[in-house]
Structure 1
Amino acid sequence: MQRPVRFGAQIRANGELDPIDAARRAEQAGFDVVLVPDHVGPGRSPIPVLSAIAAVTDRIRVGTFVLNADMRNPVQLAWEATTLDHLSRGRFELGLGAGHTPQEYARTGIERRPAAERKAALREYVRIVRGLLDGETVSFHGEYHRVEGAHVERSLQERLPILVGGNGRALLEHAGAHADIVGLQGLGRTLADGHSHEVRWTTDHLDAQIEEVRVGAAHRFDDVELNALVQVVAITDDRTSALRELSDEVDGVDIDELDASPYVLVGSVDEIADKILRCRERWGISYFAVRTIEGFDDVIRAVRDASSD
């Protein structure tokens, strides 16, 4: 049985917009989750922002997308997560990642280890936090994390969802085994500016990533929700021209690949809705996070109407 399609609205809490207003608009538009990213520096911290959003909304779930695990002690974060889950009446989803932006490490004085080490540390982190969210008393002696007899109030939800976002075989296999949601972005190596990434939007690459999640998940694969962070949204009546223009801008990905990729939603409302359902059918991706609120309510409505037929 296929999962219902869910939609997340990622908002920037950077001072350029009011995140409370954006969250209210996302709820009115029919989004399932409002998501706040995590970059230490100018702007607003995600946990307080989500607490404020939870206080003024009724239905929409709230989530981090994603927290840099290197910046937070796992016990402290689990404490904050269960607190927010209770304050939101069981609407919180915890998104975690291994971190990548050099400037954040430089500003905070935290060592930026090689990517493989950051991902290995995240794998330990997820195990610690999972136990704490579930109300367990956790002692853990790993290579990167050590806690002894840690305990926090368990989450209000029977199982507070953990999303793990990232790339690489070891991370995706571990996410398949331990996470509730696996976040896929179609991104590769961090570029020289510290923020941008190589683009990996080919279907072969995504096929391989899904298989890595499947290997890690084994018998629990059907319990894992697959998420895609959509990088391009363009509602237009001339899909072909829009895809051709995008193909000229993106190296190594042709129009057919762009037309298939879940990271690119281009076309009319009905064409985008159809593509979302095709991506669910092909890859099992049922949770789409976008950075566009205005106009996307029509897409949400079209997907739900088609799913109910």
Structure 2
Amino acid sequence: MSDRPFRFGVNLGICESRAKWQDKARHAESLGYDVLAVPDHLGLPAPFPALATAAEVTTARLGTYVLNICFYRPALLAREVATTDLLADGRLELGLGAGYVKEEFEAAGLPFVSGGERLNQLRDTVTEMRGLFADGHRPPAVQQPMPPIMVAGSGPRMLRYAAEHAEIVGIAFSFPQDENDTGHTRLAEQAELVRTTATALATDPELNLLVLGVYPDVSTADLSFPRQLAPDLSEEQIRTLPGLLGGSPATIADTLREYRERYGLTYFTVPEFHMEAFAEVIARLR
């Protein structure tokens, strides 16, 4: 379905010191990761300084996965983006989302408005930022007119918008539609929505999937991380989600080849604590 080569990213979120952070960034790159990314949650490192520090000791692409757009004003965000792209020698990828953790909005003193209103805020911010960079933003980004944008989400409106306006579309979650769905029906519909929207507009976004876990045996896996994201699903439903990858590295590599063929997915991002296990998969897909 897609002739794009695979790309692999890792979300790095634990920062104990400058030295340890840079060592981890070097190590992630040595494992074969193409993109070193930082999530945007209160309690974790601020994304842009963390990325600038990683840029000093790596040559990989650097990304946000993903910014909570409601935390930022367009002109201020454009300054952060341009400066970080400059310090990273043109390696920044700007991942954006609408935010979903109500408690973080409350801690930041921001209203947790509806999903539609948050999407509107994302849309307006992207439009204004693109305008600022098109008009010769100072400081300028190295990548002209600005770094590539990834928009990540799971709902139809968000994915349709991403397919229309972003260089990369991130499918964050593919939760089951009902008790008979393993999540793959939902993923197929999400991928098809992106594909048909992009085809109609003659765009060709890269398609990314957030990997929730990499396990030798999904049936005995610790589900604490995916449970945080899907508290309403049963354990059996979580274990069959497309984002949970199970089996040997060779088996998982075959699964990702199938995902590329069936869904057009070519870019996969894993959490930091599955970085080592997934590296064995990467080695089989190069």
Q: Is the 1:123–1:171 contact (alpha carbons within 8 Å) kept by the matching residues of 2?
A: no
Q: Do the aligned partners of 1:175 and 1:216 also contact (CA within 8 Å) in 2?
A: no
Question: Within 2, Cα distance between the matches of 1:210 and 1:39?
Answer: 27
User: Is 1:20 aligned with 2:28?
Assistant: no
Please name the residue that 2:262 is paired with: 282
Q: How does 1:107-126 map to 2 (within 5 A)?
A: 107-126=107-126
5 Å matches for 1:81-96?
Answer: 81-96=81-96
Task: Verify the 8 A CA contact 1:120 1:171 in the aligned structure 2.
Answer: no
TM-score with structure 2 setting the length: 0.84
Deviation digits for residues 142-191 of structure 1 (CA, Å, limit 9, x no counterpart): xxxxxxxxx434421235110111122111111100001111122569xx
Q: Secondary structure at the match of 1:93?
A: strand
1:202 to 183, 190, 193: 183
User: In the alignment, residue 116 of structure 1 is paired with which amino acid?
Assistant: G
- AA in 1 matched with 2:284: A
Question: For 1:252 and 1:187, how far apart are their aligned partners in 2?
Answer: 15
Residues 92-111 of structure 1: pairs in structure 2 closer than 5 A: 92-111=92-111
User: 2:154 aligns to what SS in structure 1?
Assistant: coil
Give a deviation string over 1:281-303, Cα, whole Å, max 9, x none.
Answer: 11010000012222432211101
* Whole-angstrom CA distance in 2 between matches of 1:282 and 1:16: 42
Alignment correspondent of 2:171: 184
Deviation for aligned residue 1:78? 1.2
How many percent of aligned residue pairs carry the same amino acid?
38
User: Is contact 1:13–1:46 with CA below 8 Å preserved after alignment?
Assistant: no
Which residue does the alignment assign to 1:136? 135
> Within 2, Cα distance between the matches of 1:201 and 1:183?
19
Match of 1:251 among 234, 238, 244: 234
Counterpart Cα distance in 2 of 1:35 and 1:301 = 20
Matching of residue 155 in structure 1 with residue 141 in structure 2: yes
Aligned to 1:168: 155
Alpha-carbon distance between aligned partners in 2 of 1:208 and 1:252, rounded to the nearest angstrom:
23
Question: Which whole-Å CA distance do the structure 1 matches of 2:199 and 2:139 have between them?
Answer: 30
Closer/same/farther in 2, CA of residues 218 and 130 from structure 1, 3 Å limit = farther
Deviates more, 1:169-178 or 1:218-227: 218-227
SS of residue in 2 equivalent to 1:223: coil
Superposition deviation, residue 203 in structure 1 = 1.4
2:184 and 2:36 map into 1 onto residues whose CA distance is 28
Structure 1 position 97, deviation (Å): 0.7
Unaligned runs of 5+ in 1: 138-150, 190-199, 237-241, 305-309
1:127–1:54 Cα change, 3 Å: same
- Give 3-state SS (helix, strand or coil) of 1:96's partner: strand
| TM-score when normalising by structure 1 | 0.79
User: Could you tell me how far apart the structure 1 residues matched to 2:175 and 2:251 are?
Assistant: 28
- Give the Å deviation of 1:19: 2.9
- 3-state SS in 1 of match to 2:266: strand
- SS of the aligned residue for 2:169 comes to strand
CA distance in 1, matches of 2:257, 2:128: 35
Q: Give structure 2 stretches of 5+ with no counterpart.
A: 228-232
Structure 2 distance, partners of 1:220, 1:154, is 28
Q: Tell me by how many angstroms 1:201 deviates.
A: 5.4
Residue 223 in structure 1 maps to residue 204 in structure 2: yes
Report the CA distance shift for 1:263/1:118 in structure 2 as closer, same or farther (over 3 A): same
Aligned-residue RMSD, C-alpha = 2.7
Does the 8 Å CA contact 2:174/2:186 hold for their aligned counterparts?
no
> For 1:103-150, what per-residue CA distance to the aligned partner results, in whole angstroms no more than 9, with x for missing partners?
2222221121112211121122222223334x326xxxxxxxxxxxxx
Structure 2 match to 1:298: 280
SS in 2 for 1:56: coil
- 1:144 maps to none
* Aligned length in residues: 269
Q: Which has the higher strand share?
A: 1
Larger relative contact order (C-alpha < 8 A, sep ≥ 6)?
2
1:24-63 aligned within 5 A: 24-40=26-42, 42-57=43-58, 59-63=59-63
